[in-house]
């Protein structure tokens, strides 16, 4: 079972919910941080990191001795990753989607496969929680290949929680794909509502089940609640601003590991999600 914690915008408390939920469940599970452009779940969870390895993708290499500068590879490439000039062929590796088309179409077999490091994957553990995140290299334009690699770490059995990137762009859709349930974290502000509407639109396109967590529920207005009622979106949990929780974060602690009411609150959230997906809570 895969539960993804997402939000239409950053700063709503998405990672807070994902990491506290992982701790509150107190059972074997896998937590994947798919926000590969800015992973931060490890800062909250503080797992012991055990392994790190580079993430590579295939990129073409042109053997200029064989190349006749015919231009067929440039014509084929939908991503403008190749430019055939009068004397040479230029590759823009950051634009390459590793489709392999240029190699197939080249009449001279002048295109061979090279490798390029895009980022890295790290594995770690905190108690019963197996933790994995990806880290995209600075300047890289495409997060989805690394996100797909991190998602491969989800075991075929058991529970996986995913901390998604914020927003509704390609990396988010790549992360959401295949989820059994999406917990959308929002806040009761006009910005929160605007970005929530976008996120709900994306989730509905993907035909995924979802429900809301309203964070800092006592600090805004009622428009998010009214929107949820109008759209038939279940509000699974409302979390008021909690000074003690903020103090615990400042000390590097997770509230669900210390405060019984936070643990109970997040267990109730998980129970509700399990019920909605037809899985026994156990």
Contact region for ligand SF4 (CB under 6 A) — 64-72, 134-142, 172-180, 191-199? 64-72
- Quick one: 51 exposed, middle or buried, by C-beta within 10 A (0-12, 13-18, 19+)? exposed
1, 69, 235, 257: which one binds ligand SF4 (CB under 6 A): 69
Interface of this chain with ligand SF4, residues 105 to 164, rule: CB under 6 A: 106, 108, 110-111
* 76 forms part of the interface with ligand SF4 (CB under 6 A): yes
* 101 forms part of the interface with ligand SF4 (CB under 6 A): yes
Contact region for ligand SF4 (CB under 6 A) — 36-44, 76-84, 223-231, 234-242? 76-84
* 100 forms part of the interface with ligand SF4 (CB under 6 A): yes
* 197 forms part of the interface with ligand SF4 (CB under 6 A): no
Nearer to ligand SF4, 144 or 255 (CB): 144
Phi-psi group of 11: left, alpha or beta (phi > 0 → left; psi -120 to 50 → alpha; rest → beta)? left
Rg (CA), the chain: 22
* 60 forms part of the interface with ligand SF4 (CB under 6 A): yes
We find the least distance from the C-beta atom of residue 4 to ligand SF4, in angstroms, to be 28
Contact region for ligand SF4 (CB under 6 A) — 82-90, 159-167, 168-176, 230-238? 82-90
Nearer to ligand SF4, 104 or 219 (CB): 104
Contact region for ligand SF4 (CB under 6 A) — 9-17, 62-70, 116-124, 192-200? 62-70
Residues that bind ligand SF4 (CB under 6 A): 60, 62, 67-73, 76-77, 79, 81-82, 84, 89, 96-102, 106, 108, 110-111
């Amino acid at each position: 079972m895969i539960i993804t914690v997402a939000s239409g915008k950053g700063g709503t408390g998405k990672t807070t919910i994902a990491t506290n939920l992982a701790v509150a469940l107190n059972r074997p599970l896998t937590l994947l941080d798919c926000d590969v452009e800015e992973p931060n779940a490890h800062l909250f969870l503080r797992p012991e990191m055990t392994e790190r390895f580079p993430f590579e993708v295939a990129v073409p290499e042109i053997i200029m001795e064989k190349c006749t500068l015919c231009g067929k590879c440039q014509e084929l490439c939908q991503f403008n990753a190749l430019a055939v000039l009068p004397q040479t062929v230029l590759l823009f590796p950051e634009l390459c989607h590793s489709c392999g088309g240029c190699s197939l179409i080249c009449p001279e077999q002048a295109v061979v496969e090279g490798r390029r490091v895009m980022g890295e994957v790290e594995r770690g553990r905190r108690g019963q929680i197996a933790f994995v995140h990806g880290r995209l290299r600075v300047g890289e334009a495409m997060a989805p290949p690394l996100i797909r690699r991190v998602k491969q770490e989800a075991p075929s059995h058991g529970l996986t929680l995913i901390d998604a990137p914020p927003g509704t762009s390609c990396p988010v859709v790549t992360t959401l794909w295949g989820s059994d349930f999406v917990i959308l974290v929002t806040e009761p502000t006009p910005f929160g509502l605007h970005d929530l509407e976008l996120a709900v639109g994306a989730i509905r396109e993907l035909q995924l089940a979802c429900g809301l967590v309203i964070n800092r529920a006592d600090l805004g207005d009622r428009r998010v609640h009214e929107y949820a009622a109008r759209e038939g979106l279940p509000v699974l949990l409302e979390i008021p601003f909690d000074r003690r929780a903020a103090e615990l974060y400042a000390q590097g602690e997770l509230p669900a590991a210390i405060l019984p009411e936070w643990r109970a609150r997040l267990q109730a959230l998980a129970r509700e999600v399990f019920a909605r997906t037809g899985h026994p809570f156990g």
